[in-house]
């Protein structure tokens, strides 16, 4: 096991970098996309509500593996069309398809978290902001978002952790992330449990590092509550 580790540590480390890159990129794009979707889902207008709802239903109701195959191999079936509109140069690249699918997928899950958090902001605070004469944009910026962010944070952390693990599926479309590296090494050296135990250890380490960091941020997000809530019943929503 030790010789195995020293022989292949470099490969696993480069795989870990890829895993982190894909996680970071897809979480970033996913979060940016999730916000408008969450707002659309809160809209009373059917023409706004339904497209977002169908989107969320599709990406939450089907397996990520199927989505990856659909976008990666499925796009190949439409190459002429995609070429005509100039998009094929992107779909040609595995990394693009991988990040696109992961982003679309996490956007659907994140939007539900954001929606719940936005709904959880006490009505009174919004009314107070209105009474102070804040514009709609100001209310979003100063009241709704900061409050919603704090409320959404624990659930969103879970989503990031989940996303980190979900990136393992991109190994199926030739990307050499931690899992991809493990599969090549496992089959080349017939060292199956060494390779996958090592991969599991890498994921475990990264996941708990992320959770640790997220807890730090969470404490800062709730700093104002801790001060206000002096009589002891300090509850952080889990």
Partner 1 sequence: MLDLKGYGWLLWEGVQLTVMVSVVSMAGAVIVGLLAALAKLGRSRLRSAIVEAYTTVVRGVPELVLLLLVYYGVPTLVQDVAASLGYDFVVAINPFAAGIATITFIYGAFACEVFRGAYLNVPAGQHEAAAVLGLNRMAALRLVILPQVFRYALPGLGNVWMVLVKATALISIIQLPELMRNADVAARATRMPFTFFFAACLVYLTITLASMWAQARAEGWAGRGVVGGRL
Partner 2 sequence: MRTTVSLILGTLLLAIPASAQELPNPLRIATEGAYAPFNYLDDEGKVQGFEIDLARAMCDEIGANCEFAVQDWDGIIPGLLAQKYDAIIASLYITDERRERITFSDKYYQVPARFVVPKASTLEISREAMQGKVVGTQRATSFERFMRDEMAGIDLRVYATMEEAYLDLQSGRVDAIMADVVAASEGFLKTPEGEGFEFRGPEYTGAKWFGYGAGVGVRKEDAHIADAFSDAIAKVRADGTYQKISEKWFGFDVYGE
- The verdict on 142 binding partner 1 (CB under 8 A) reads no
- The verdict on 62 binding partner 1 (CB under 8 A) reads yes
Q: How far is CA 188 from CA 16, 181, 194, in A?
A: 20, 11, 12
In the numeric block, the tokens 């708990």 are attached to 208
Size of the site for partner 1 (CB under 8 A): 40
- The verdict on 70 binding partner 1 (CB under 8 A) reads yes
- The verdict on 26 binding partner 1 (CB under 8 A) reads no
Closest to partner 1 by CB, 204 vs 217, is 204
- Taking CB under 8 A as the criterion, the residue among 12, 30, 40, 75 binding partner 1 is 75
Q: Contacts from 186-194 at CB under 8 Å and sequence distance 24+?
A: 189/4, 191/4, 194/1, 194/4
Q: Which of 118, 119, 68, 120 is nearest to 96 (CA)?
A: 68
- Taking CB under 8 A as the criterion, the residue among 1, 17, 32, 58 binding partner 1 is 58
Q: Which of 118, 167, 168 is nearest to 146 (CA)?
A: 118
Nearest-angstrom CA–CA distance, 154 and 216? 11
- Taking CB under 8 A as the criterion, the residue among 50, 90, 142, 193 binding partner 1 is 193
- The verdict on 187 binding partner 2 (CB under 8 A) reads yes
- The verdict on 237 binding partner 2 (CB under 8 A) reads no
- The verdict on 77 binding partner 1 (CB under 8 A) reads yes
Q: Per CB under 8 A, which region of 5-13, 56-64, 73-81, 213-221 contacts partner 2?
A: 73-81
- The verdict on 75 binding partner 2 (CB under 8 A) reads yes
Nearest-angstrom CA–CA distance, 77 and 92? 12
Q: How far is CA 171 from CA 8, 16, 54, in A?
A: 17, 12, 28
- The verdict on 151 binding partner 1 (CB under 8 A) reads no
Q: Which residues contact 27 (CB under 8 A, 6 or more apart)?
A: 106, 159, 160, 163
Binding site for partner 1 (CB under 8 A): 57-58, 60-67, 69-70, 73-78, 161, 165-169, 171-172, 179, 182-183, 186, 192-193, 196-197, 199-200, 203-204, 207-208
- Residues interacting with partner 2, by CB under 8 A? 73, 75-77, 79, 88, 92-94, 172, 174, 183-184, 186-188, 190, 192
């Amino acid at each position: 096991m030790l010789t195995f580790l020293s022989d292949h540590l470099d490969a696993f480390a480069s795989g870990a970098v890829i895993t982190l890159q894909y996680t970071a990129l897809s979480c970033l794009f996913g979060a940016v996309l999730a916000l408008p979707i969450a707002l659309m889902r809160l809209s009373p207008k059917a023409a706004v509500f339904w497209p977002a709802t169908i989107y969320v239903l599709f990406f939450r109701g089907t397996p990520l593996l199927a989505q990856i195959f659909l976008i990666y191999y499925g796009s190949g079936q439409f190459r002429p069309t995609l070429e005509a509109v100039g998009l094929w140069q992107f779909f040609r690249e595995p990394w693009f398809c991988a990040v696109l699918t992961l982003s679309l997928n996490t956007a659907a899950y994140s939007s539900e978290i954001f929606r719940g958090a936005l709904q959880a902001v006490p009505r009174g605070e919004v009314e107070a902001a209105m009474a102070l004469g804040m514009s709609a944009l100001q209310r979003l910026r100063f009241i709704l978002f900061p409050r919603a962010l704090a409320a959404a944070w624990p659930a969103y952390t879970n989503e990031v952790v989940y996303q980190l693990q979900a990136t393992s599926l991109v190994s199926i479309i030739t990307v050499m992330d931690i899992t991809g590296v493990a599969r090549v090494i496992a089959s080349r050296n017939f060292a199956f449990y060494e390779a996958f135990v090592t991969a599991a250890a890498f994921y475990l380490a990264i996941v708990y590092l992320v959770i640790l960091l997220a807890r730090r941020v969470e404490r800062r997000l709730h700093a104002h509550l801790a001060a206000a809530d002096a009589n002891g019943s300090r509850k952080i929503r889990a």
